[in-house]
Chains A and B, each alone.
Chain A
Amino acid sequence: MNYVDLFSEQSILLDLQVSDSDSALAAMVDQMVANNAALAERKDELLTALIAREAQGSTGDAGVGMPHVKMAGITDVAVVVGIHKEGLDFAALDGSVVNVFFCVVRPEEGADEHLGLLRWLASIAKHEDFVSFSVQATEAQQVIDLLSELAAA
């Protein structure tokens, strides 16, 4: 699977205007359900699950957060990228603020595929230029191009 295909201009939030991580998750869920009829009715459930999941242990590291949950009854992976220019406290173990969030919802099945996606995202995220380039993006397509470029690097 080409994971870049999971991203569209509608799945990129270039400038999150929020001041805490729960609000960031809420904004990304809003964006996700706006483009996904199957998730629209389960918006509250999704947000609650994401917040609960992060409470178990932050996915933040090196300026990037990967809040993700699995949900029964959905068939496709959904992803939203949220960028916060200044960075938010996401309880990252390395103490960094998080500038770029990958919010991922996946079906209950397909653990190996999910592991592959996390590995792909982590490989891109730990590239030294990823965060600084992401916060400078002024168009969604630039973020998608960055993902493509770093995926091939």
Chain B
Amino acid sequence: MLETIVLKAKVVNSHGIHARPSHAIVSAAIDFEATIELHCDGRVADARSILSVMTLGAAHGAVIEVHASGPQAEQAATKMVEILCADQD
């Protein structure tokens, strides 16, 4: 069974994860072969899909768990956290 890397990040963007940060997340996620899920408040999103990421509706200060498994899972999860912790507004 593949090991799943789980990292947590708090959304820094003042306007939350709206479309532009979602685009940044997906742009980075598609560069990895790892399966990457974002968990927030009971919802789960595929980090490769903008629509999916936007359904999280993650506001400023929300805590997102990044679950990554497969090739380069650790690098993928770390990259996601880096983006979530960057203010892009």
Interface of A with B (CB < 8 Å)? 56-62, 64, 66, 68, 93-94, 111-112, 114-116, 118-119, 121-123, 125-126
Number of contacts between A and B (CB, 8 Å)?
A: 65
A122 touches B26 (CB 8 A): no
The contact sample of 5 A-B pairs, CB cut-off 8 A, is: A59-B23, A115-B58, A118-B18, A122-B55, A126-B52
Pairwise interchain contact B50-A93, C-beta atoms closer than 8 A: yes
**Minimum Cβ distance to chain A for residue B23 (Å):** 3
Tell me whether A61 and B51 are in contact in the complex, defined as CB-CB below 8 angstroms, given that A111-B14, A118-B19 are known contacts: yes
In the complex with contacts A112-B59, A118-B18, A126-B23 CB distance below 8 A: no
Whether B51 pairs with A64 at a CB distance below 8 angstroms is yes
Rounded to whole Å, the gap between the CB of B32 and the closest CB of chain A is 14
Q: How far is the CB of B83 from chain A (nearest CB, A)?
A: 12
- Separation of A119 and B30 alpha carbons in the complex (Å): 21
Q: Is the CB of A115 within 8 A of B49?
A: no
CA distance A121 to B30 in the complex (A): 23
**Chain B contacts for A93, CB-based, 8 A:** 23, 26-27, 30, 50
Closest to A57 in B: B23
Q: How far is the CB of B33 from chain A (nearest CB, A)?
A: 16
Which chain B residues numbered 1 to 39 have a C-beta less than 8 Å away from chain A? 14-20, 23-24, 26-27, 30
With beta carbons under 8 angstroms apart, the residue of B27, B52, B57 that contacts A115 is B57
A121 to B19, CA, bound (A): 12
Q: Is B44 an interface residue (CB 8 A)?
A: no
Q: Which of A66, A115, A125 contacts B15 (CB 8 A)?
A: A115
Let me know if B56 is at the binding interface, CB within 8 A.
yes
Q: Is the CB of A57 within 8 A of B20?
A: yes
**Interface contact A57-B52, CB-CB below 8 Å:** no
Q: Is B54 an interface residue (CB 8 A)?
A: yes
Q: Which residues of B contact A121 (CB under 8 A)?
A: 54
The closest CB in chain B to the CB of A68 belongs to: B19
Q: Nearest chain A CB to B7's CB is how many angstroms away?
A: 23
Compute how far the CA of A127 lies from the CA of B3 in the bound complex, rounded to whole angstroms. Answer: 30
